[in-house]
């Protein structure tokens, strides 16, 4: 059983005016023994729709790059295309290389700045942490020193008072001044 290749209209973008359709070349129909007709036709519809969408997308992207070609300005349009193609072949690589070099420089500079800022932030954090720990230690040490000093003052006062009592033979805490010496002490100027 011989199968005939159906003619399916397809958009061809090369050397064809926009909107013209031509019969497809070398499009094979699916083998009916392999797939059911409904599956084969839906697969063909999907692939045809995908290819049409792709062609429309390419045409839409390419349309702004070309001037309208009509019968009146067709030769000038071709000249314009040749000039544009020649200009595009010469300048973009140089411009692109310059742009890439500039962008690489900017990226390098931004990375350097970011690493410097990160290092400064880490250094600041370390310094603040060290200062905080030092302050906490000094406050703790100050508290200990104050407590030790107060204990020494208390011990010295008690020790000195008792030592003084022993030296002078005082057996009671309340000093007793004889009545005659009290008047002398009051008349005496204060040192």
pLDDT digits (tens, 9 = 90+) for 13-25: 555 455 555 544 4
For residue 135, pLDDT over 80 is answered with: yes
Give CA–CA dist 122/72, Å, rounded: 71
pTM of the complete model: 0.31
What is d(CA 111, CA 171) in angstroms, rounded to the nearest whole number? 85
Percent of the chain at pLDDT exceeding 70: 46
Would the pLDDT of 87 be above 60? no
Rg of the chain in Å (alpha carbons): 52
Please answer whether residues 80 and 67 qualify as being in contact, where contact means their C-beta atoms are separated by less than 8 angstroms: yes
- Per DSSP, the chain holds a count of helices (H) and strands (E) of 3, 2
Instruction: Report residue 1's pLDDT band, with 50, 70 and 90 as the boundaries.
Output: very low
Average pLDDT over residues 68-95: 60
Does residue 11 contact residue 55 with C-beta atoms inside 8 Å?
yes
What pLDDT does residue 143 have?
A: 93
Angle (CA) 141-142-145 rounded to 5° is: 85
């Amino acid at each position: 059983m011989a199968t005939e290749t159906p003619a399916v209209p397809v958009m061809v973008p090369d050397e064809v005016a926009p909107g013209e359709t031509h019969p497809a070349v070398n499009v094979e129909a699916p083998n009916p023994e392999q797939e059911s007709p409904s599956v084969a036709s839906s697969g063909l519809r999907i692939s045809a729709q995908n290819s049409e969408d792709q062609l429309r997308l390419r045409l839409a992207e390419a349309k702004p790059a070309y001037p309208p070609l009509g019968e009146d300005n067709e030769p000038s349009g071709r000249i314009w295309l040749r000039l544009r193609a020649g200009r595009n072949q010469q300048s973009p690589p140089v411009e692109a290389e310059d742009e890439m070099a500039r962008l690489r420089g900017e990226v390098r500079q931004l990375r350097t700045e970011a690493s410097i800022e990160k290092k400064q932030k880490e250094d600041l954090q370390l310094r603040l942490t060290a200062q905080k720990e030092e302050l906490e230690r000094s406050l703790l040490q100050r508290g200990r020193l104050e407590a030790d000093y107060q204990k020494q003052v208390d011990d010295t006062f008690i020790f000195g008072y008792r030592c003084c009592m022993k030296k002078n033979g005082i057996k009671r805490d309340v000093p007793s001044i004889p009545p005659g010496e009290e008047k002398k002490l009051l008349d005496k100027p204060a040192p």
